[in-house]
Copies of this chain bind each other. A is one copy, B any other.
Amino acid sequence: MEIKIVKDILESNNVTAEENRKFFKEKKAVLINIMSSPGAGKTELLDATLGMLDGALRSAVVEGDICTTMDAERLTHRNVPLVQINTDTLGGVCHLEASMIREAVSKFDINDTDVVFVENVGNLVCPAEFDIGANLSVALLSSPEGPDKPLKYPLMFRTCPVVILSKMDIVEALGVDIDEYERNILKVNPTAKILRVSAKTGAGMDAWINVLKELHKTSAG
């Protein structure tokens, strides 16, 4: 068994992340890193996003999971390039690293792509520690998870300039105070842009699509 040293892993990841950033800039494409707890609705958001973008931005998706291709399969009907990373072949790693993204992006033609969406492993801790070289990191916080999560997992919410409050359609049934979620996000990240979204009903999706279009215009335009 290979002995991995934690310090080395983090340092070499940062070097590769910088290379990814440079590569995407040259190719006039943007890389979006979508992170959350398991079951917060990353795949459902991506499905709705691909449906609404439909051609406006040419998209590709990199799916990160410990195992299975279930999430990728949910997106095949969108007819965009899909690459699945299964980390169980890499020792069951609980996050994606910059080198995995480089490898994944080599599987399709980046010259035909405006935006690469990365769906990270469902985990509110470790993915925030590993820069993949993204132009934008986005955290999803689903309403059933409760308003305390930004305070308990501050690195994730501090790392992400955009936070999506997902599953807004069940807020009423849950009886939660969604303003409290926003206040707690702003406590750890006062400049966060917060979007209230239901991928199911489409509510709030326009604002998210605009974020993507603006980002592509400024970063890659």
Contact = CB atoms under 8 A, between A and B. Distances in A.
A4 to B, nearest CB: 5
Q: Could you say which interface size class chain A belongs to?
A: 35 or more
Interface in A110-153: 121-126, 129, 142, 144-146, 148-149, 151-153
Contacts of A148: 68, 70
Interface in A53-71: 65-68, 70-71
Nearest to A95: B125
Copies in the complex: 2
A23 B210 CA distance: 58
A39 B146 contact: yes
Nearest to A142: B144
Contacts of A66: 125, 152-155
B38 A124 contact: yes
B167 A144 contact: yes
Given A38-B37, A39-B144, A125 B129 contact: no
Interface string A56-97: 000000000111101100000000000000000000101000
Nearest to A172: B173
